């Protein structure tokens, strides 16, 4: 497998000497340690792109998407890939379907001792810290319906997909999550307009989008019997109880992003069958999501960073 230290560009991983807050990363991450109180990775991007693929337990450095693992194609609701990139302050949060979050933040706020432990940085002021906040044991049973900002916090709405696979799990409870970079896990986030439709009563919210009129539109599904009950709602700020909407209003507001690509002549070219799906800026570093597509199916997926 490609090893990080063989690359000519600079990718710096934090190590630690162990302890009660430490755990081993799986072997496909290089057998390195991570600490629950520290970033998982410190990266110094340059003019050459840094490529990573999503793997069990985290991310793995690769030389290019063409060298990614032979990941079996799955329908997009079941595949591990980026469902949204959220910008908040100087940070970027990537929502990873079936996994959790990756938070990309400038490393300036880290202690000098931590930066020194990472190794030699040619431009410490431009280094990035990556935090993996994942919970595949729970998230692995659900699909991300929406990535959005709520009261200044990045958030992901989960739902149970019954279309592409027989699903015996209940509707997700909680259904909305936000990353916690201290515990390195997603934590529940209360959103009153969505919480009013209780999962304990069989309600699932499988799609949500913000319309041009500033309202959030979402579809709620209840499956107590063979014939599901479907209702449509809208909310201005997701704070108060939502008001009843219509299927027509929902359709007019909702644009599904699955299967779409983002074109940018400034991004490095990808092999045939691969597309960029989302991007953002953290400082002067471009962070872009890529994936291998075949119709509605997704194979390998990951992220790319380079200094623009």
* pLDDT on residue 226: 67
d(CA 34, CA 18): 9
Alpha carbons within 13 A on the beta-carbon side of 235: 16
Mean pLDDT of the chain: 83
pLDDT at 52 over 80: yes
Its sign, for the CA torsion 30, 32, 34, 40, is: negative
pLDDT at 210 over 50: yes
pLDDT at 100 over 60: yes
pLDDT at 20 over 70: no
pLDDT at 301 over 50: yes
pLDDT digits (tens, 9 = 90+) for 159-202: 999 888 777 889 999 999 999 999 999 999 999 999 999 999 99
* pLDDT on residue 262: 64
Q: How many CB atoms lie within 10 A of CB 260?
A: 11
d(CA 208, CA 210): 7
d(CA 79, CA 160): 14
pLDDT at 1 over 60: no
């Amino acid at each position: 497998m490609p090893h990080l230290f063989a690359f000519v560009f600079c990718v710096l991983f934090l190590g630690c000497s162990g302890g009660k807050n430490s755990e081993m990363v799986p072997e496909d991450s290089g057998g390195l340690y991570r600490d629950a109180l520290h970033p998982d990775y410190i990266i110094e991007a340059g003019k050459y792109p840094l490529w990573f693929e999503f793997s069990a337990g985290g991310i793995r450095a690769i030389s290019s998407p063409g060298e990614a693992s032979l990941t079996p194609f799955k329908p997009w609701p079941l595949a591990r890939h980026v469902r949204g990139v959220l910008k908040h302050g100087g940070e970027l949060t990537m929502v990873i379907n079936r996994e959790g979050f990756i938070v990309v933040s400038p490393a300036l706020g880290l202690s000098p001792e931590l930066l020194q432990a990472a190794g030699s940085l040619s431009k410490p002021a431009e280094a990035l810290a990556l935090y993996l906040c994942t919970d595949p044991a729970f998230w692995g049973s659900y699909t991300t319906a929406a990535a959005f900002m709520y009261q200044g916090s990045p958030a992901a709405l989960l739902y149970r997909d019954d279309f592409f696979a027989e699903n015996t799990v209940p509707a997700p409870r909680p259904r909305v999550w936000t990353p916690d970079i201290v515990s390195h896990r997603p934590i529940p986030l209360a959103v009153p307009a969505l919480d009013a439709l209780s999962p304990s009563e069989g309600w699932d919210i499988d799609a949500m989008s913000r319309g041009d009129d500033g309202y959030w539109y979402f579809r709620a599904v209840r499956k107590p019997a063979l014939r599901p009950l479907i209702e449509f709602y809208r909310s201005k700020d997701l704070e108060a109880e939502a008001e009843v909407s219509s299927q027509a209003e929902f359709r007019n507001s909702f644009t599904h992003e699955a299967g779409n690509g983002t074109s940018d002549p400034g991004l490095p070219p990808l092999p045939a069958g691969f597309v960029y799906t989302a991007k953002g800026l953290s400082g002067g570093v471009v962070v872009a999501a890529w994936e291998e597509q075949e119709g509605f199916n997704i194979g390998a997926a990951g992220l790319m960073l380079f200094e623009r």
